[in-house]
Amino acid sequence: MGRDLEKYLRPEVKSTPFCPGCGHGILMNLILRAIDDLQLRMDEMLFVSGIGCAAWIPSPNFNADTLHTLHGRAVAFATGAKMFNPKLKTMVISGDGDLASIGGNHLIHAARRNIDLTVICANNMIYGMTGGQVASTSPVGAITSTTTEGNIYRPFDLCKLVLGAGAPYVARYSVTQPVSLIEAIKKSLTIEGFTFVEVLSTCPTQFGRRNRYDSPTDMLTMLKESCISKQEAEQLTPEELQGKVITGEFSDGGA
Amino acid sequence: MTNIMAKKKKGKPLINRQWCKGCGICVEFCPEDALALDEMEKANLAYPDKCNGCGMCELRCPDLAIELG
Ligand code: SF4
Ligand code: SF4
Ligand code: SF4
């Protein structure tokens, strides 16, 4: 491991917990770099996660207090922890299935109540750890273990969802945009109130191999090509926007 | 050497072979084709002269296995 990140991991951690080439590993790297840039103290932070591959980003790897909770309930646990000890900088890191499908209600109500939490949602568009089932974030046409002929339902736009619920800081970037993503994570940690960063990630094992992205790099290339900026999106017709994902800041928290 | 991406460090990538899982991401996306997987499927700075020190491999590695020295 790089020496500059060593101090943020527990000494007994000897590798990342992910499959080779998993996008969540890139996100883990970038979260630690954002924390390093801000010089935050790990003993003043609490990391909360639910269940799923993304929940292993902080727990039990980060050298801080980590709370690995029930499936879908990370935001609820984080709300309680924050009430008990408001001084702790509290960061929820979990996946799309956990935060948006199973825990969708906790997510919108924490945003509505503007609880002082940073929520990083690693969205790989599928339930990875539990066997590759369709999620509320899977694109139309996605082949999953429960939609073998392609998903017929449109996916949630998570940024619009939390924005509609009143979150002051909302951004979306992909793991293929590491510099922008580090900046967004830094802002989400600095702005007070409910801050939300949706991170488009990749699951080469469960999503990639079912959808003809044969390698981790193929999946990242697909993701890179589907991401466009807000400015680019304004120039496109609804037809041209099909299959594209808009990235950027959707609410800047007054910063 | 100056580069906009590398704010703090200007060195060349050091690869931690224990942490590398050989996914090939750093190799595929290096703008200068300076990296390769070796016979053990570990990343390796095969062409050090090509590396411009941009640091993108450090940011893209999912296994925290690269650091610019
Ligand atoms: S199953 Fe998918 S999301 Fe989970 S660690 Fe493997 S590649 Fe990553
Ligand atoms: S990106 Fe990291 S894990 Fe993948 S081959 Fe390069 S050094 Fe190894
Ligand atoms: S620092 Fe840049 S040029 Fe050098 S190996 Fe890494 S990605 Fe390639």
pLDDT value at A243 more than 90:
no
Of all protein residues, the one whose alpha carbon is nearest to atom 1 of ligand 2 is B61
pLDDT value at B34 more than 80:
yes
Q: Ligand 2 pocket test: pick from B14, B17, B21 the residue with the most ligand atoms within 8 Å of its Cβ.
A: B21
A8 inside domain: no
What are the tens digits of pLDDT across the range A16-75? 999 999 999 999 999 999 999 999 999 999 999 999 999 999 999 999 999 999 999 999
pLDDT of residue B7: 52
Confirm if B38 and B44 have CB atoms less than 8 A apart: yes
**Residue range(s) defining the domain that contains residue A200:** 18-252
Question: Which CATH number characterizes residue A81's domain?
Answer: 3.40.50.970
pLDDT of residue B5: 47
What are the tens digits of pLDDT across the range A63-114? 999 999 999 999 999 999 999 999 999 999 999 999 999 999 999 999 999 9
Question: Which CATH number characterizes residue B47's domain?
Answer: 3.30.70.20
Complex ipTM: 0.92
pLDDT of residue A130: 83
Label residue B25 by pLDDT band (50, 70, 90).
very high
**Residue range(s) defining the domain that contains residue B56:** 17-68
pLDDT of residue A127: 86
CA distance B26 to chain A (A): 9
A144 inside domain: yes
B54 inside domain: yes
CB contact under 8 A, A217 and B29: yes
Q: State how many domains chain B has.
A: 1
What are the tens digits of pLDDT across the range A147-169? 999 999 999 999 999 999 999 99
A221 inside domain: yes
Burial B10-42 (b: 16+ CB within 10 A, else e): eeebebbeebbbbbbbbbbbbeeebbebeeeeb
CB contact under 8 A, A21 and B24: yes
- Residue-by-residue DSSP string for B3-65: -SS-SS----EEE-TTT-----HHHHH-TT---EE-TTS-EE-S-GGG-----HHHHH-TTS-
pLDDT of residue B48: 97
